Structures are given as C-alpha cells and as structure tokens.
Amino acid sequence: MTKESIFKSFLEDPLLVEKNYLTKERAESLRFGESSNIKLLEVIKMAINSTVDGDSDNVISRKINQFLNK
C-alpha cells in the first residue's frame, strides 16, 4: 500500500464527516502531500509517514506530541 492509499482509507471513515472535521467533498479531494490545516489529518499523515519509514512507536509518539504542543 502506498502512503496515498493508506491516507485515503482513513479519509473514508464516516466519523470524520459526522464530527465535522471535513466535508465529504473535501475528503475526496484531499491528497497526502497537501496541507489540510486540520490537526487530526496532519497527525494521521505524520503517523503514516513515520510507520512507513520504520520509526518506533516511541519516536512516533514523540513526533505527534511535539506537533500537538506547538
């Protein structure tokens, strides 16, 4: 699976639309390389990148925490 396909599978979750994180149209148009300005989606991208790159769970957690504390 590519990073793009993994990201798209997360965007297909109806909970993102139900909780008003984004609209269905926006979810369909988003690409992995684009900035969304939605922290949840940026964290998902960060986790996908780190996992594909082979980072440990501790490293991924630190990266996410550092991003959220900005």
pLDDT in tens, 46-70: 999 999 999 999 999 999 999 999 8
51 contacts 7 by C-beta, under 8 angstroms: no
Q: HSE on the CB side for 2, CA within 13 Å?
A: 6
pLDDT exceeds cutoff 90 at 31: yes
In the chain, the number of structural domains is 1
pLDDT exceeds cutoff 90 at 24: no
Check residue 19 and give its pLDDT. 87
Rounded mean pLDDT, 22-41: 90
Helices 3-11 and 39-53 cross at an angle (nearest 10°) of: 150
Domain boundaries, position 61: 3-68
Q: Model's pTM, two decimal places?
A: 0.85
Check residue 17 and give its pLDDT. 86
